[in-house]
Chain A
Amino acid sequence: MFDPTTRLNHTITEIKPSGIRKFFDLLDEMKDVVALTVGQPDFVTPWHIRDAGIRSLEEGRTYYTSNNGLLEFRKEIANYQSRRFSLEYDPAKEIIVTVGGSEAIDLALRATVNPGDEVIVPEPCFVCYAPLVSMAGGIPVALPLKWENNFKLTPEELRSALTEKTKAIVLAFPNNPTGACLTKEELEGLAEVIRESDALVISDEIYGELTYDYTHTSIASIEGMRERTVVVGGFSKAYAMTGWRLGYTLAPDYFTKQMAKIHQYGIMCAPTTSQYTAIEALKNGDEDIEMMKAEYHARRNLIVSRLRALGIDCFMPEGAFYVFPYIGKFGLSSEEFCEKLLYEKHVAIVPGTAFGESGEGFARLSYAYSVRHIEQAMDRLAEFVKTL
């Protein structure tokens, strides 16, 4: 008998739905919840940036752009990357404007992976890497990072994970969910190991602007790394532009050419309005970044201090807008802790296991919320912890 459900792509049907999704569905059904779950800024895109998008619509700029994005926009991206992170890329040949950072990651993986290739994915990490590796026909190899290293990837850990089959390494620092960052020296240590291998690097630097203790360094700026690295950047986090869906890849010509094929056939081009909007962000948005960053910085200090005051171990995250405290000492699994907290005190945080098995014992709390909101959540958490 014909069973249409068996006719779908097995690689896709075998991918498990994201664990975090289940938790969010639960959350949507409840009222009076103080949530610290959202992985996006609580700021609205600054008005002068939004206004540029509106102006582009008034001027009737509703056409497709060239596949890789408006050249004017790519030039601004190149200027910005040079100004902020000392990266030099040719706007004509080495930049593709994508639909968010996620498409950029997908392009990089699909342009890289042959069936059976391994891709090292340090965990805990953003949820998309492993499924995208699988969808590209590759094998994601989870590399569990350690609490005692503040969830930084060390050269030793990387060396032990590299094999003959390793095609690429995903580096995602500043990290969602841990807030871990890598200094220039730490990246140099990793680069030394990578240079000894044939591995490519997919460096997701979407949180690159949001570091609080030192300026972000891109691995592509380290000797010998540019030629084998795709840098993924975007506008969502730095400029509070998540809904505009705009990201980009920076990669050498040989690499960009291949990713461009996937992009042009699958996507055509990123939304035109968003591209015009983001030109304004790049030209006149540096002050907005500083303002938002100062806010996140203050909130980070507050939430870490409140958690520590409750006796919850929490390392000081150096970037992004998440804290990743250790909750294992209360004798519950991460999921149990988060579900109990949600049901009993109506506070929502995300179990660390949503970001990989090595997230067991931890939870992600976002501080992309107002100070008042964070304090309210911490008050409720304090009541909850007393009952354990």
Chain B
Amino acid sequence: MNIRNTILSYMEKDSHLNAKTLAVMLNLPEEEIEKEIAAMEADGTILSYKTVVNWEKTDRRMVRALIELKTIPQRDKGFDTVAERISTYPQVKSVFLMSGGFDLALFVEGETMRDVALFVAEKLATMEGVTATATHFVLQTYKDNDVVYEQDTTDKRGNSW
């Protein structure tokens, strides 16, 4: 694995790992790691550092929905125009162009199911180029962003030398 991929694979798992620790772990100069991280931040390889939150543990109400959209592609632009427009809404957390029976898949968040339903009905369904929507509410999250929710993390290994 090249050095950038190695750094990324560690940071993707734990964004707390700083250049100093990574330098020790990979036996490379700290300045080199810093330089690589800075370069990847600059060229958009590293996009942001976020925290994976299980909101069900808080008192904040939140629902998520997966929304399938069928759209009419535009000459020269394909699906880009409508995907970019949809991406500007803060309720929309992810946008993907998909193969298969529909075109775009979105993850949308809101406080209530009604919020999400209204957003779909008022903003997405009415958007130029969108021909159909299908809304699937998330009932339970088992694993997201490579993190298994509600996992028993106690160390069950026996202490046998």
B139: CB under 8 A from chain A? no
Check A176 for interface membership: any CB of B closer than 8 A.
Answer: yes
A298 touches B26 (CB 8 A): yes
**B14, B155, B160: most-surrounded residue (chain A CB, <10 A):** B160
User: Quick one: which of B14, B16, B17, B155 contacts A35, CB cutoff 8 A?
Assistant: B155
B159 interface contact, C-beta 8 A: yes
Number of interface residues of A (CB under 8 A): 24
- Report how far A127 CA is from B160 CA in the complex, Å: 10
CB distance from B11 to the nearest CB of A (A): 12
| A202 shortest CB reach to chain B, Å | 18
Bound-state Cα–Cα, A28 to B161, Å: 14
- A127-B161, A176-B161, A371-B14 given; A38·B25 CB < 8 A: no
Note all chain B residues with C-beta closer than 8 A to A305: 24
Contact with B along A32-62 (1 / 0, CB 8 A): 0001011110100000000000000000000
Chain A window 290-305, contacts with chain B (Cβ cutoff 8 Å), 1 for yes, 0 for no: 0000000011011001
Output the residue of A35, A176, A302, A371 with the most chain B CB within 10 A. A371
Choose among B25, B27, B158, B159 the residue that contacts A371 (Cβ–Cβ < 8 A). Answer: B25
Q: Can you report 7 A-B residue pairs in the complex whose CB atoms are below 8 A from each other?
A: A40-B158, A298-B26, A299-B25, A302-B24, A302-B25, A372-B16, A375-B21
- What is the minimal beta-carbon distance from B131 to any residue of chain A, in angstroms? 40
Q: Tell me which residues across on chain A come within 8 A of B14, comparing CB atoms.
A: 371-372
What are the residues of chain B within 8 A of A302 when measuring CB–CB?
21, 24-25
Report the minimal beta-carbon distance from B83 to chain A, rounded to whole angstroms.
34
Q: Which of B17, B24, B157 contacts A38 (CB 8 A)?
A: B157
> If A371-B14, A371-B17, A372-B14 touch, does A40 touch B25 (CB 8 Å cutoff)?
no
Partner of B161, one of A20, A301, A372, A375: A20
Tell me if A37 and B159 are in contact (CB < 8 A).
yes
Are A38 and B21 in contact (CB-based, < 8 A)?
no
Check A330 for interface membership: any CB of B closer than 8 A.
no
Chain A, 123-163, CB within 8 A of any chain B CB:
126-127
Residues of A close to B16: CB separation below 8 A: 372
Contact across chains for B160 and A371 when beta carbons are under 8 A apart? no
Q: Ordered nearest first, which 3 A-B pairs have the shortest CB separation?
A: A298-B25, A24-B159, A305-B24
Q: Is the interface of A mostly helix, strand, loop or mixed?
A: helix
Residues of A within 8 A of B17 (CB): 371
Inter-chain contact B24/A126, CB cutoff 8 Å: no
Question: B93-120, CB under 8 A of A: which get 1 and which 0?
Answer: 0000000000000000000000000000
User: Do the beta carbons of B161 and A39 come within 8 Å of each other?
Assistant: yes
Apart from A38-B157, A301-B24, A301-B25, what 9 extra A-B contacts exist at CB < 8 Å?
A18-B161, A24-B159, A28-B159, A37-B159, A176-B161, A242-B157, A298-B26, A301-B27, A306-B24
* A27, CB-defined interface residue at 8 Å: yes
Closest CB of chain B to A130's CB: distance in Å?
Answer: 13
Nearest Cβ on chain B to A16's Cβ, whole angstroms = 15
Residues of B contacting A126 in the complex (Cβ-Cβ under 8 angstroms): 161
Q: Does more than half of chain B's interface fall in helix, strand or loop, or is it mixed? A: loop
A154 to B46 alpha-carbon distance, docked (Å): 50
Interface residues of A in 233-254 (CB under 8 A from B): 242
How many chain B residues touch the partner (CB < 8 A)? 15
Which residues does chain B contribute within 8 Å of A38, judged by CB atoms?
Answer: 155, 157-159
Q: Please give me the residue from chain B that is nearest to A28 by CB atom.
A: B159
Shortest CB-to-CB span from B27 to chain A, Å, is: 5
Cα distance A90–B10 in the bound complex, in angstroms: 42
B interface footprint on A314-347 (CB within 8 Å = 1, 0 otherwise) = 0000000000000000000000000000000000
Q: Which residues of B contact A301 (CB under 8 A)?
A: 24-27
Bound Cα distance A39, B159 (Å): 7
B159 pairs with A27, CB closer than 8 A: yes
A127: chain B residues at CB < 8 Å are 161
User: Smallest CB–CB gap between A177 and chain B, Å?
Assistant: 8
With contact pairs A371-B14, A371-B17, A372-B14 given, residues A40 and B157 touching in the complex (Cβ less than 8 Å): yes
Smallest CB–CB gap between A103 and chain B, Å? 14
Residues in A neighbouring B26, C-beta threshold 8 A? 298, 301
Contact with A along B1-29 (1 / 0, CB 8 A): 00000000010001011000100111100
Complex Cα–Cα for A301 and B158 (A) = 25
Q: Provide the bound-state CA to CA distance between A305 and B21, in Å.
A: 10
A127 to B159, CA, bound (A): 13
Give the complex CA separation of A305 and B27 in angstroms: 10
A306: chain B residues at CB < 8 Å are 24
- State A24–B161 Cα separation when bound (angstroms): 9
Chain B's nearest CB lies how many Å from the CB of A203?
A: 19
Chain A residues with Cβ below 8 Å from B21 are 302, 371, 375
C-alpha gap A199/B25 in the complex (Å): 41
Shortest Cβ distance from A170 into chain B, in angstroms? 15
A372 and B17 CA atoms in complex are apart in Å by 9
CA A127 to CA B26, docked complex, whole Å: 32
